[in-house]
C-alpha cells in the first residue's frame, strides 16, 4: 500500500481492492441523473456543473492515457494535459474529470468544439483554444482500486495525490446546496450544479447518487436529417433531431439557430456523406422536402422546455459531440419541462 493510502483509517481501508492497470471502467464512468430536486439534507456535496467533455486519465507504468467516456484515446487532442499528468510525482492513478474551454471565466462548449477531434499537433496549436482539465474523482491510486471508498474520502485523497497548476485544476465543492445555491450558480453564468452523496461509492452507469441540477435545459440529440437553406443562408436550414426510446428514434423537433457560417458549411459536408433515402424517425416529420441522414451524429442542444407533444421549444445548437455514441442518446427527464411531459414518455 502506498504512502497516501496508508493514512486511511482501518475502517475505510477495508474497502480498497487491488487494481490492475488498464482494468478500470474508463469507457463506462459514473453518470449523473437529471433532477429538479432542490431540498437536500446533510451528507451531500455540490460541484459546479461544467460544460465540457468527460475525460478519464490513466497513468500506469509511467505512461498517461486520456480516454473519452466511450473509450476513445484522446492523447493527441489534448497533449498539454498529457504533459501535465506525466509531470506528476504520483505515477500510478486513474482520475475522472471534465475538459473545458474557458472564456471570461465561463465554460464555452462552442469554443471547446474547435479543439475536439483534432489529432495533428499543428492543428491543435492553430486552433488557439486553451483547455483546462477539472478533476473531480479518483478511481485508482498506488495500485489500489479506490472506487469502493466514500466520495468524501476519494476527494481527500485526490486533493493530496496530485499537484494542481494550469492546465490541471481540482474541482472544488460546497457542503451546502439547494435553491439558493443553484440560483447563485445561475447568476454566475454557470450551467448548474452537480449534487453528490458524500458517502457514495463510484459505480459505473447512471446513478441517483449523482444529480444534475441545471439552470437551463441542455442535452444531446441524434441528427436524423436536415432541411435545405433558404435565401442567402449556406449549408442547411435546420437540423432534424431525435432521441432513442424502446428501439425507435423519436422525433424531437428541429434546430436552426446557433450556427456560424463555417459550421453550416462544414456540417453540411458531413451530412451529405451520411445521406440515406429513408427517414430514420418513428414519427412522420412535417417538413417540406426533408433530407435524411444515417443517425450517427450527436448534437448538443440548449432549449427552454419540452412541449406536450414531446418537441423542443426554442432550441439552440451548441456543437457536435464525439464523446457519446448516438445509440446511447435518450431523453433526459427530471420533471423540469415547463409544458408537461407526454403520457408514456416519462
List, in sequence order, every beta strand (DSSP E) within 215-295: 217-226, 239-245, 248-255, 275-276, 291-293
> Angle at the Cα of 113 (from 223 to 170), degrees rounded to 5?
120
What is the DSSP annotation of 73-123? B-TTT-HHHHHHHHT-S--SEEEEEEEE-EETTEE-HHHHTTTTT--SHHH
Residue 319 neighbours by CB under 8 Å, 6+ apart:
109, 110, 112, 113, 116, 299, 300
CA–CA distance, 201 with 30 (Å, rounded to integer): 10
Question: With 0-12 CB in 10 A as exposed, 13-18 as middle and 19+ as buried, what is 179?
Answer: exposed
The single-letter DSSP state of residue 260 is -
180 membership: H or E segment, kind and range: helix 179-187
**Which stretch of DSSP H or E encloses residue 124?**
helix 121-127
CA distance 16 to 146: 6
- Can you tell me which residue has the cell 460546497? 174
Task: Look up residue 288 and give its DSSP letter.
Answer: S
> Residues 49, 155, 212, 214: which is the catalytic one?
49
Would residue 49 show up in a list of annotated catalytic residues for this protein?
A: yes
Do 215 and 191 meet the contact criterion of CB atoms below 8 Å apart? yes
Active site residues: 49
Amino acid at each position: 500500500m502506498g504512502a497516501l493510502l496508508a493514512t486511511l483509517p482501518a475502517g475505510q481501508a477495508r474497502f480498497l481492492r487491488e487494481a490492475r492497470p488498464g482494468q478500470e471502467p474508463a469507457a463506462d464512468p459514473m453518470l449523473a441523473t437529471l433532477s429538479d430536486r432542490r431540498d437536500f439534507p446533510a451528507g451531500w456535496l455540490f460541484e459546479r456543473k461544467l460544460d465540457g467533455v468527460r475525460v478519464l486519465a490513466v497513468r500506469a507504468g509511467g505512461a498517461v492515457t486520456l480516454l473519452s467516456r466511450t473509450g476513445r484515446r484522446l492523447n493527441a487532442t489534448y497533449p498539454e494535459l498529457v504533459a501535465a499528468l506525466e509531470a506528476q510525482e504520483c505515477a500510478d492513478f486513474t482520475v475522472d474529470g471534465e475538459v473545458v474551454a474557458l472564456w471570461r471565466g465561463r465554460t464555452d462548449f462552442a469554443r471547446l468544439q474547435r479543439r475536439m477531434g483534432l489529432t495533428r499537433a499543428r492543428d491543435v496549436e492553430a486552433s488557439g483554444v486553451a483547455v483546462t482539465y477539472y478533476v473531480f474523482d479518483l478511481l485508482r491510486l498506488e495500485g489500489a482500486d479506490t472506487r469502493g471508498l466514500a466520495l468524501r474520502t476519494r476527494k481527500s485523497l485526490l486533493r493530496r495525490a496530485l499537484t494542481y497548476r494550469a492546465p490541471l485544476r481540482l474541482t472544488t465543492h460546497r457542503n451546502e446546496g439547494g435553491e439558493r445555491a443553484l440560483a447563485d450558480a445561475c447568476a454566475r453564468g454557470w450551467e448548474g450544479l452537480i449534487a453528490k452523496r458524500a458517502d457514495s461509492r463510484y459505480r459505473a452507469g447512471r446513478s441517483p447518487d449523482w444529480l444534475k441540477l441545471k439552470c437551463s435545459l441542455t442535452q444531446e440529440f441524434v441528427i436524423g436529417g436536415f432541411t435545405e437553406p433558404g435565401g442567402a443562408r449556406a449549408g442547411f436550414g435546420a437540423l432534424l433531431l431525435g432521441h432513442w426510446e424502446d428501439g425507435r428514434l423519436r422525433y424531437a423537433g428541429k434546430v436552426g439557430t446557433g450556427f456560424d457560417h463555417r459550421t453550416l458549411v462544414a456540417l453540411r459536408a458531413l451530412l451529405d456523406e451520411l445521406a440515406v433515402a429513408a427517414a430514420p424517425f418513428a414519427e412522420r416529420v412535417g417538413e417540406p422536402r426533408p433530407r435524411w441522414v444515417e443517425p450517427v451524429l450527436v448534437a448538443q442542444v440548449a432549449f427552454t422546455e419540452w412541449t406536450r407533444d414531446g418537441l423542443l421549444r426554442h432550441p439552440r445548437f451548441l456543437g457536435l459531440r464525439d464523446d457519446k455514441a448516438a445509440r446511447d442518446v435518450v431523453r433526459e427527464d427530471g420533471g423540469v419541462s415547463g409544458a408537461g411531459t407526454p403520457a408514456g414518455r416519462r
